[in-house]
Structure 1
Amino acid sequence: MAGATTAERGERRDRQDPASGPPRPPLLQRLKRPPRPRTLIVVMVCLALLAAGGVWILYGSQWTRVERVSATGTRVLTAGQVVEAADVPIGSPLISVDTDEIEAVLLRKLPRIDSVDVVRSWPHGIGLKVTERRPVLIVEKGGKFVEVDAKGVRYATVPRAPQGVPVLELTASHSAGLRRFGTDRLVREAVLVASSLPAAVARATQVVKVRSYDSVTLELSGDRTVDWGSGEKGRAKAHTLIALMKAAPGAGHFDVSVPTAPASSGS
């Protein structure tokens, strides 16, 4: 005689154990049930306490207040000058420090700074990451020297000429080019030329003369001169000048104003 099936055995166990109660609903249905009101209240109270505690830590406690300000990246300026100019309020909540305002203050007070990144260093510090301008030309004025960066910005006056930086001479004081383009445009043209020079030529360049927009001349060490022309096609002119100097190492004058038709002369 065949034994009871699995279903029959299960029904038999249910009849023999009435205390086990009705079958429980599936797990997925239990998870979908909404939480009880008491559970919601407890969760909301905990979240509110956490938020209030976080606000107090950031704004009211002594754990996250400004205690130190540091500056990095300086070359000519000192870290102390940058920190003093930033004027970060010591003791104020770190979260309340306006980093954008500090950046604007530094750029306004210290024109030598090209860019600055103001960062919070939790829990007590402010870091000032500075990038200073670098001179590509200098302009002599009243026995002193005005530094000009690669953007054409005249940002600082120094008593001595920085070593290795060419002097800019504007000789277009009464020319039509000056009336048409203005001094600032001619300075930018000179900066464009200086920025295009190959490293070896840049080191040897002592003077950049600007007669007009399209007449820029370089005076190199060893009594050599270069007619560069305008600031256009700077890369092609740089390559041509290097090749010309190698081909005529004893020449005293080079003309790359038209890079496809260069010339050299003198000895």
Structure 2
Amino acid sequence: MAGPTTTERGTKRPAGVSSARPAGPGDPLPDGARRLRMPRPPRVLLLVAAALALVGGAVWTLYGSSWLRVEQVTVSGTRVLTPRQVEDAAAVPLGSPLASVDTDAIEDRLRRALPRIDSVDVVRSWPHAIGLEVTEREPVLVAEEGGKYIEVDAKGVRFATVDTAPREVPLLRLDTGRSPSLRRFGAERLRREAVGVVTGLPGRIARDVVSVRVRSYDSLTLELTGGRTVLWGSGEQGDAKTRALIALMKAAPKAGHFDVSAPSAPAASRS
């Protein structure tokens, strides 16, 4: 019997070797086989990348660009101080990014340099300004020292020295001498007591107060227009003493001296 032809011998494959050609990209996959694909980035990563880009752009706009920088300082609320005084003391860094301005530091500089300022709001006024909204202290008493006058506000703070006493502000006279009250309470506490008495008076009486004389913690005297005086005693029981004084003034309108140091037993006399 004749053996295989040359053609048949050339097409014979060793045992276990497939005679199929490699599958191409367009060829169908064998049963049960799955084509491998490159994974796509999850949507959350795309969202995070977009958010980071937005944040980076915002930070650059606020701090790196030339669009939102300090170009102007505005001042409001001044009465005795001038806007220029406030602006100079604030030392706002012109040209700096508005977002980076330290508003607390500006407030501290103003309080240290200008004690007349009671409070100040430092606000960013976008896109290019810093606003300084000032509230000045107002004197309720004035103390004479060395030919000048020291203004005292409603908190008992000595905040300014002036050459001329402000009009219609009572004079504070601390005539404690060697009183034990001065050693026990100190001038500041006695000053606050005097302030508390004056600020607690009704308007029609407060307008008549010329001076407040403090001899001790328990001895405050109000000197009124027309040479009238009011022995107030300590600063305690202020409401009761005020009611007693109003009643005395109505009952004895021509009296020159009123004593409300014991409000349950007030007295009035012509001298």
Taking structure 1 as the reference length, what is the TM-score of the superposition? 0.84
Distance 2:183 2:259 in 1: 26
Which residue among 145, 148, 158 is the counterpart of 2:152? 148
**How far did 1:180 drift?**
2.0
**How far did 1:38 drift?**
5.0
The aligned counterpart of 1:7 is: none
Distance 2:134 2:73 in 1: 13
Q: 1:122-157: CA deviations, max 9, x gaps?
A: 111111111111111101112110001111111100
Distance 1:119 1:182 in 2: 39
Q: Which amino acid aligns with 1:219?
A: E
Distance 1:97 1:239 in 2: 52
Q: How many residues align?
A: 232
Which residue among 71, 76, 83 is the counterpart of 1:79? 83
**Paired residues for 1:20-169 under 5 Å:** 37=41, 39-169=43-173
**How far did 1:43 drift?**
2.1
The aligned counterpart of 1:170 is: 174
Distance 1:57 1:197 in 2: 56
The aligned counterpart of 2:21 is: none
The aligned counterpart of 1:265 is: 269
Q: 1:81-116: CA deviations, max 9, x gaps?
A: 111100000000001000111111110110001111
Distance 1:59 1:149 in 2: 41
SS in 1 for 2:207: helix
Bigger radius of gyration: 2
The aligned counterpart of 1:247 is: 251
Distance 1:59 1:80 in 2: 28
The aligned counterpart of 2:35 is: none
Structure 1 vs Structure 2: percent identity of aligned residues?
64
SS in 1 for 2:140: strand
Distance 1:170 1:158 in 2: 19
Q: Which amino acid aligns with 1:43?
A: L
Taking structure 2 as the reference length, what is the TM-score of the superposition? 0.82
Distance 2:203 2:49 in 1: 67
Where do 5+ consecutive residues of structure 2 fail to align? 1-39
Distance 1:178 1:40 in 2: 74
Which residue among 195, 218, 230 is the counterpart of 1:191? 195
The aligned counterpart of 1:238 is: 242
SS in 1 for 2:142: strand
Distance 2:222 2:53 in 1: 71
CA RMSD of aligned residues (A): 1.3
Q: Which amino acid aligns with 1:255?
A: D
Q: Which amino acid aligns with 1:99?
A: T
**How far did 1:260 drift?**
1.4
Which residue among 218, 222, 244 is the counterpart of 1:218? 222
Distance 2:78 2:221 in 1: 33
**How far did 1:179 drift?**
2.2
SS in 2 for 1:139: strand
Distance 1:95 1:128 in 2: 16
Q: Which amino acid aligns with 2:130?
A: I
Distance 1:259 1:113 in 2: 37
